[in-house]
Chain A
Amino acid sequence: MEILCLGLNHRTAPVEVRERFAVSISQQGKAAQDLITQAEALEGVVISTCNRTEFYFSAENAQSAFRLVEKHLAETIQFELDSSMAAHFYRLEKAAVAQHLCRVVSGLDSMMLGETEIFGQVKEAYRLALESGTTGGVLNKLFQRAFGIGKKVRTETSIQEGATSVGSVAVDLAEKIFGHLKHSEVMILGAGEMSRVTAQSLVSRGARSIFVANRSFDRAQELAKEMGGSAVRFDDWQKVLERVDVVISSTGAPHAIVQRADVEQARRARKYRPLFFIDIAVPRDIDPAVGEIEEVYLYDIDALEQLAEEARGRRQLQIDECERIILSELAKSKLPGL
């Protein structure tokens, strides 16, 4: 018996191909059952995320099993499996399957290197297959071992350390200044997409309340409603400054909106508490002189992007170590079907 994997991901297939093969989470258990009933696999697990769809299965004969699974897929989504379409798929056998799965759960095969979400997604796909009764001794051991190795890779290396996007860098910095954000209030200046995404990250980490100030009050109300916050008239943002801890600014103004004098005016009322400014606008919304005020921490888009880039670079340096751990752990494992 052999362990096999047929799949495509963001590296091998564009989104218009990936979306055709995507399997929704509610259908993954059934898709695994279909692998066994329609494609004559002995065991099967189907993993489908926005960046990959992969079919893990065991069979007696690799070549005929791949043919059957491909035929089953062609029938299911009604496409012609010609050479151009087939070129998007990778076909892995035996040890290469185990190595690939370990790389996937460790985040080494992800678009954002080291991301943590994939670990939960693979676990969920495996759980659904387990509940559907499509796993047995071979795939159970493979997946459980892969989860163990994935955890080891993540704890023993820095592959998931550091924020790798502007939004997550901003959130990490906010937590470094304020700790848990449940006692922190946030003000958004300008209802642009970037500030919305960043503010949402802060809310997801527990920020207490959001104030939205925008030149168009209707747009401010719209965004405030979406985020469960309050809209503020643009002329009133200085008043709100007296109570908030974080200010995210992303207006389209051609000049600085927040001047040093505006912040100086609010200091006394704020009792000189720390204040974190995130300026993601170009041209910048916040006068750099604001950052010279003692209790103010000011980060503009370049600083945030540089920090994200550095974190991505640090993760890249960890790849060899991660691969070494995977190979060494797999060598110690006596997995059936390899």
Chain B
Amino acid sequence: MLGEAPWMGMDRWFLIAATLLAAVGAVWGIASVHRGRRSRATVFWIMAAFLCQLGFLSVRGQMRGACPLVGTGEILAFLAWSLTLFYLLVGPAYRISLLGVFTAPVVVIFQGFALIPGVLALNPTRVIGGNAWHETHSAMSVLAYGALALAAVAGVMFLVLDRQLKEQHLKSGLFRNLPPIRELLTSLERLLWLGGALLTVGIVAGFLMPRTTLALGHPIAAVVVWLSYLCLIGIQRVRGLTGRRLSLSTVVLFLLSLVVFAFV
């Protein structure tokens, strides 16, 4: 019986632990940057948070008997995991600890929302008759959001550095530790391409999965988001955009794209 399984109830504890570890990583990183130093420890805190996220998803997946992407709580937790995953994959190309300083708070916010009572189902129902297209759609879409979230994080880093360079405020520890403008823009563009590609697979899978309802809100919102990112990538590729506009668009578009989850 599921109710008697030893992992029952552990999911929430894994998520709490992951949130606390990410919060420690954020505070640790911010304190280091404030002192004008880079701390490699940030990445270890986030790695520990990542392991706890894996624990959460694993337990939750067993409880669901499918990919744990049912309801806002699971989606937010999966999104936080995806963001952490991309940070750990892409991080070495940046100054890893500093990207962590910007990423960890976003992870804490996502997981914090998921932990609000009522958001994450306490006794998740088992998914019956799962469909491969459905799971591909959910997993690819959330992975895409992880990449796009990290692109937004890189965008925020760019905006901070751009402002400091423009206003010639170059004394802070943050300025000394931020990666160069060109590297930030290159990473942002690559993450946009990666996120765009994953989102395309997610959207295509979404159209191929069997539908149980006639609700149009979610697919329309998803297609609008997908087209918006496509436009952004296309304009940047063909015409070019200033770093500031590209970063601002990435951040705003990511925040607006979260609306899609309102229709899930």
Contacts and interface: CB of A to CB of B under 8 A. Distances in A.
Give 7 closest A-B pairs by Cβ, nearest first. A271-B240, A179-B180, A294-B242, A272-B242, A295-B242, A272-B240, A177-B181
B166 interface: yes
Q: Which of A176, A273, A294, A299 has the most CB of B within 10 A?
A: A176
B211 interface: no
A263 interface: no
| Interface size band for B | 20 to 34
- Dominant secondary structure at the A interface: helix
A273 B180 CA distance: 13
Contacts of A217: none
A294 B36 CA distance: 27
A160 to B, nearest CB: 13
B4 to A, nearest CB: 56
B180 A175 contact: yes
Contact of A179 (B168, B183, B240, B242): B183
B181 A176 contact: yes
Interface string B215-255: 00000000000000000000000011111110000000000
Given A177-B180, A297-B166, A273 B240 contact: yes
B78 to A, nearest CB: 33
A291 B243 CA distance: 15
Interface in B107-162: 161
A270 B241 CA distance: 10
Interface of B: 36, 161, 165-166, 168, 170-171, 175, 178-183, 185, 239-245
Interface residues of A, number: 22
B90 to A, nearest CB: 16
B241 A272 contact: yes
A274 B239 contact: no
Contacts of A264: none
A310 B172 CA distance: 12
B240 A177 contact: no
A274 B242 CA distance: 8
Given A177-B165, A307-B170, A310-B171, A295 B243 contact: yes
Contact of A178 (B168, B181, B242): B181
A303 interface: yes
Contact of B244 (A270, A295, A303): A295
Contacts of B240: 268, 270-273
A294 B245 contact: yes
A178 B165 contact: no
Contact of A299 (B168, B182, B239, B244): B168
A271 B243 CA distance: 10
